[in-house]
């Protein structure tokens, strides 16, 4: 793969019908609540720029629920720069309840049929529904194979969203009319992975659910007759909800609105939360607060930890430069602790997408996206702060630019994240070992000064230092046992994730990823490499799974 893609983002709004109208709804009309969805999606556009869409409910039209979705940014899909077209769209899809989605493709093609929400028509109103989904099912191959084992079933798309749609349909099959909690309880026993869901049917019922581990964030607020939910709190605060009313939905819980009744219920037990730490250090909007912890404060804490590790000589010719934009908070905090200036030596072209998530040639895009400022960096010792290094393509290009175009005398890379050594199977599209930069330098799972020195030479940097794994939980202000840190320590919170990691290591050892198959899912679904090609001594030998530490390797 030449790119890394992030999971998606979801939103929901519901305005109760009646005499009272929320001041947050434009026009004083409950059926204008649907207009809030594009505004909310703009605020979580960082979570998905490939496609966007919404489904609205209006009991006064023939299309009780109706869906508009397309490939493109939120502004493109909803015509936000063309007022006449936007107004026409908002009138056509006006409703007092709506759900929305922004998408990156962790699996599946980049065309409109993969855009969400997914709507399923049915003559029975309770079975005519639409939903949107944030996350990824780690046991997707098994779920897919189970469905396809029945000759009367067919899947039209290669993604887990369709798996989820068929699973909901099966729950509603025939004369079954399970309650929302019962349906989600049954689904939770089948699903392994991350799955936040917003759901709306032609009766006007809505639910918002978070998976039992709470891997992906999900926030909600209710003031007066208006309820809203979103992947990140910033979408709710920018609508005008007070900070006191915005909360995170606990893992394994669902908010349901049926017959106008608002209820919060538990549908599954939570063995332990497994919040993705990556949300705080990279993915989420810096203004968001997730599960009680502000993103900006977390990133600032990362920078303070980096400052404690600093060993290069500090003088008047030393400056700190962040890689814009997600590393700015960490860089500023690091510079403050060290008593150094934090300067913008790299300027970002904001009309080029995030290279971490999109672009066919990331090195070319890095050169297009970032412009060094030689007046800032010429003859300086630069401490370049980055939020993470995944494949290293962008970092290599940046170091070359800082020296050749920016005139930096030295470039010392400081990474506000531990090394990424393992794939993600919960919504970030890095599902193979071979694509990652760090694992080949850390075969025994140890990060030592010698390893960092070897990595620096490979990158062309004068030095390299990573954040330590043990610092993550403290910076996020969460107990380590409540975080998913699988991509940095190889410890997966679900059985399917562990199985896929074992397969990913085996595929890397056997060279299976050179066949052109892009994801561990694909290898598991097609052909597994012969054991003899991997281990001539023992065909039954299982791949070893390294546990990653900052010092001595731990056995598992």
At 45-88, the pLDDT tens digits run 989 888 999 999 999 999 999 999 999 999 999 999 999 999 99
Partnered with residue 415 across adjacent β-strands are 386, 466
Quick one: how far is CA 452 from the chain centroid?
27
Is this prediction's pTM over 0.85? yes
What pLDDT sits at residue 514?
43
Pick one of 1.10.10.10, 3.60.20.10, 3.40.50.10140, 3.10.20.30 as the CATH number of 9-271: 3.60.20.10
Distance CA 100, CA 115 (A): 11
What pLDDT sits at residue 521?
58
Distance CA 297, CA 56 (A): 36
What pLDDT sits at residue 525?
47
What pLDDT sits at residue 349?
81
What pLDDT sits at residue 367?
67
Quick one: how far is CA 307 from the chain centroid?
28
Of the candidates 501, 536, 494, the one whose C-alpha atom is nearest the C-alpha of residue 421 is: 501
Q: Looking at the chain, which residues constitute the CATH 3.40.50.2020 domain(s)?
A: 294-484
Q: Please state whether beta strands 129-137 and 193-201 pair in parallel, antiparallel, or not at all (unpaired).
A: antiparallel
Q: Is 359 helix (H, G, I), strand (E, B) or coil?
A: coil
What pLDDT sits at residue 350?
72
Which residues, in sequence order, are CB contacts of 146 under 8 Å at separation 6+? none
The CATH class given to the 294-484 domain equals: alpha beta
Sign (positive or negative) of CA dihedral 121, 122, 123, 129: negative
What pLDDT sits at residue 175?
82
What pLDDT sits at residue 398?
93
Q: Looking at the chain, which residues constitute the CATH 3.60.20.10 domain(s)?
A: 9-271
Tokens of 166: 């068929």
Of the candidates 456, 455, 466, 454, the one whose C-alpha atom is nearest the C-alpha of residue 417 is: 466
Q: Please state whether beta strands 381-386 and 318-322 pair in parallel, antiparallel, or not at all (unpaired).
A: parallel
Would you tell me how many other CB atoms lie within 10 Å of the CB of residue 179?
12
Which residues, in sequence order, are CB contacts of 532 under 8 Å at separation 6+? 539
Q: What angle do CA 194, 195, 196 make, to 5 degrees?
A: 125
453-to-30, 128, 425 alpha-carbon distances in Å: 61, 59, 30
Residues 70 and 116 sit within 8 Å (Cβ to Cβ): no
Tokens of 315: 């003088």
Give me the residue label for tokens 């990158």.
Answer: 459
Of the candidates 456, 313, 322, the one whose C-alpha atom is nearest the C-alpha of residue 377 is: 322
What pLDDT sits at residue 518?
55
Q: Please state whether beta strands 261-266 and 253-258 pair in parallel, antiparallel, or not at all (unpaired).
A: antiparallel
What pLDDT sits at residue 49?
86
What pLDDT sits at residue 542?
39
Quick one: how far is CA 202 from the chain centroid?
29
Residues 437 and 411 sit within 8 Å (Cβ to Cβ): no
- DSSP annotation string for 178-197: --HHHHHHHHHTT--EEEEE
Q: Is 556 helix (H, G, I), strand (E, B) or coil?
A: coil
Sign (positive or negative) of CA dihedral 311, 316, 318, 323: positive
Point out the residues that are catalytic. 8
Pure H helices in 80-124: 83-92
What pLDDT sits at residue 532?
37
206-to-13, 52, 200 alpha-carbon distances in Å: 9, 20, 5
Per-residue confidence in pLDDT tens, the chain, 556 aa: 233 445 699 999 999 999 899 999 998 899 999 999 999 999 999 898 889 999 999 999 999 999 999 999 999 999 999 999 999 999 999 999 999 999 875 454 567 888 999 999 999 999 999 999 999 999 998 999 988 888 788 888 778 889 999 999 999 988 878 899 999 999 999 999 999 999 999 999 999 999 999 999 999 999 999 999 999 999 999 999 999 999 999 999 999 999 999 999 999 999 899 999 999 998 899 999 999 999 999 999 999 999 999 999 999 999 999 998 889 999 999 999 999 999 999 998 876 554 444 445 555 666 678 899 999 999 999 999 999 999 898 899 999 999 999 999 999 999 999 999 999 999 887 778 988 999 999 998 899 999 999 999 999 999 999 999 999 999 999 999 999 999 999 999 999 999 999 999 988 888 754 444 455 655 554 434 434 345 444 433 334 445 565 443 332 2
Q: Assign residue 101 a region: left if phi > 0, alpha if psi is -120 to 50, beta otherwise?
A: beta
Residues 159 and 133 sit within 8 Å (Cβ to Cβ): no
């Amino acid at each position: 793969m030449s790119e890394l893609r992030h999971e998606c983002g979801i939103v929901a709004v519901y305005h109760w019908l009646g005499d009272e109208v929320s001041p947050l709804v434009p026009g004083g009309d409950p059926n204008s609540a649907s207009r809030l969805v594009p505004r909310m999606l703009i605020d979580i556009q960082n979570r998905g720029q490939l496609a966007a869409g919404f489904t609205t409910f209006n009991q006064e039209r023939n299309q009780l629920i109706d869906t508009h979705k397309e490939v493109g940014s939120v502004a493109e899909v909803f015509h936000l720069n063309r007022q006449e077209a936007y107004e026409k769209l908002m009138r056509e899809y006006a409703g007092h309840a709506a759900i929305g989605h922004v998408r990156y493709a962790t699996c599946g093609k980049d065309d409109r049929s993969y855009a969400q929400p997914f709507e399923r028509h049915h003559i029975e109103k309770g079975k005519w529904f639409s939903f949107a989904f944030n996350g990824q099912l780690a046991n997707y191959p098994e779920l897919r194979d189970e469905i396809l084992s029945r000759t009367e079933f067919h899947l039209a798309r290669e993604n887990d969203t369709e798996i989820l749609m068929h699973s909901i349909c099966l729950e509603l099959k025939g004369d079954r009319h399970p309650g929302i909690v019962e349906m989600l309880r049954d689904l939770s026993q089948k699903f392994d992975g991350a799955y936040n869901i917003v759901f709306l049917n032609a009766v006007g019922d809505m639910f918002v659910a978070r998976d039992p581990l709470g891997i992906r964030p999900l926030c909600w607020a209710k003031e007066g007759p208006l309820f809203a939910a979103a992947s990140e709190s910033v979408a709710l605060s920018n609508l005008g909800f007070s900070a006191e009313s915005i909360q995170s939905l606990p893992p394994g819980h669902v908010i349901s609105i049926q017959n106008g009744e608002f209820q919060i219920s538990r549908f599954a037990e939570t063995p332990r939360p497994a919040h993705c730490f990556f949300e705080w250090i990279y993915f989420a909007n810096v203004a968001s607060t997730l599960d009680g912890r502000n993103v900006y404060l977390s990133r600032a804490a990362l920078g303070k930890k980096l400052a404690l590790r600093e060993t290069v000589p500090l003088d008047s010719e030393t400056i700190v430069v962040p890689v814009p934009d997600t590393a700015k908070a960490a860089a500023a905090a690091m510079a403050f602790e060290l008593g150094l200036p934090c300067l913008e030596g790299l300027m970002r072209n904001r009309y080029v997408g995030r290279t971490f998530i999109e672009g066919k040639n990331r090195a070319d895009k890095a050169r297009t996206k970032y412009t060094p400022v030689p007046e800032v960096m010429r003859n300086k010792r630069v401490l370049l702060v980055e939020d993470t290094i995944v494949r290293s393509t962008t970092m290599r290009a940046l170091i070359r630019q800082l020296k050749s175009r920016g005139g930096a005398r030295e470039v010392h890379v400081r990474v506000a994240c531990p090394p990424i050594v393992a794939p993600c199977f919960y919504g970030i599209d890095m599902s193979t070992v071979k694509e990652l930069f760090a694992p080949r330098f850390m075969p025994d799972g140890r990060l030592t000064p010698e390893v960092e020195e070897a990595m620096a030479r490979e990158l062309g940097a004068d030095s390299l230092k990573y954040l330590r794994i043990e610092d993550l939980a403290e910076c996020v202000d969460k107990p380590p046992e409540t975080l998913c840190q699988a991509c940095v320590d190889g410890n997966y919170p679900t059985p399917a994730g562990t199985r896929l990691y074992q397969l990913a290591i085996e595929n890397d050892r056997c060279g299976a990823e050179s066949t052109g198959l892009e994801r561990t899912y694909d290898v598991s679904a097609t052909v597994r490499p012969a054991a003899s090609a991997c281990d001539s001594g023992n065909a039954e030998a299982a791949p070893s799974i390294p546990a990653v530490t900052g010092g001595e390797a731990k056995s598992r």
